[in-house]
Amino acid sequence: MDRVFSGIQPTGVPTLGNYLGAIRNWVPMQDDHDCIFCVVDLHAITVWQEPKLFAAQTREMAAALLACGLDPQKCILFVQSHVHAHARLAWIFNCVARLGWLNRMTQFKDKAGKNSEQVSSGLYVYPNLMAADIHAYHALKVPVGDDQKQHLELANDIAQKFNHDYGVEFFPTIQPLIQGVAARVMSLRDGTKKMSKSDPSDASRINLTDSADEIAQKIRRAKTDPEPLPSELAGLEARPEARNLVGILAAITDSTPQDVLRDHGGKGFGQYKEVLTEALVAHLGPIREEMARLLQDHAALDAALRIGADRAAAIADPIVTEAERIVGFLPR
């Protein structure tokens, strides 16, 4: 079975974007792949995390992943900082990746904005750590949302340069898996910006912990335009908010944007938003309840994560030790 690796940052409550773009696609892969999923807390501190909240956020993210259907009997689920191989390999990759490559990363530009002199150096080398996460397991497939595609290309460039510089065939080429009609879910307040768990506006996103009332209110207030829904895909051109709301219903009902427009074309947004709310509440309600149940027992959750970390380290440690040998580090 091909090995799959993916991660998610505990930078807040997971959003509908994280769910449709990533987590939901991870669940069926557990049946026919060797899956490793990680709550990437080392990545999260590239922007400020309040220490008093951070551990709770990490636990909440792990509970969300389990509630969405990750099963520790079928996959390895763990917290990144518990497996030291990630940081060890990331340092080597910091010394392989070229500054020019990092300068091209659009996520850094988006996150740093005009403030690029003031953000952490960790944010800049974030893609090197992401490459290490994947290559520490010799993973071949990486299911992510569309926003991560550029980072995966960089991970392949790093592997190639490592192999070339040291004259080895050690790190394999990875294949990004970017799936589904909702590979990029957009903000409810601005259809040109991706939905993010750390967006300052809570109204911009649906959180997996939102109640039925909160979902209804956010969808009701979601930005739209005055035109009714078109009946054909071409009618969504230059209407990013309409396109986003159509994509979300298609994803959540396992249909396509064409199907949604066939069924709802001609409706005004008032009517359409009611349909969308109902579908979201029905789909997300059970996940929210299961998350709450799992978070009542911290000891059980932490124990499951410890077992996951031991299993992950058993794979990553020998691979990273071999990478260190190839580099020429003196064995201890």
Q: Contact positions toward ligand AQP, by CB under 6 A?
A: 7-9, 11, 15, 17-18, 21-22, 144-145, 147-148, 183-185, 194-198
Q: How far is the CB of 10 from ligand AQP (least distance, A)?
A: 8
CA distance 254 to 249: 8
In this complex, which beta carbon is closest to ligand AQP, that of residue 209 or of residue 324?
209
Which residue's CB atom is positioned nearest to ligand AQP? 21
Q: How far is the CB of 55 from ligand AQP (least distance, A)?
A: 17
Q: How far is the CB of 25 from ligand AQP (least distance, A)?
A: 9
CA distance 197 to 209: 12
Catalytic residue annotation: 111, 194, 197
H or E element at residue 142: strand 141-143
Both tokens of 223, joined, read 């930005």
Burial of residue 179, with CB atoms counted within 10 A of its CB: 0-12 exposed, 13-18 middle, 19 or more buried: middle
Q: How far apart are the first and last CA of the chain?
A: 33
b/e map 43-68, b = 16+ CB within 10 Å = bbbbbebeeeebeebbbbbbbbbbbb
In this complex, which beta carbon is closest to ligand AQP, that of residue 20 or of residue 76?
20
Q: How far is the CB of 145 from ligand AQP (least distance, A)?
A: 2
Residue 98: φ, ψ to 5°: -95, 145
In this complex, which beta carbon is closest to ligand AQP, that of residue 15 or of residue 277?
15
In this complex, which beta carbon is closest to ligand AQP, that of residue 9 or of residue 209?
9
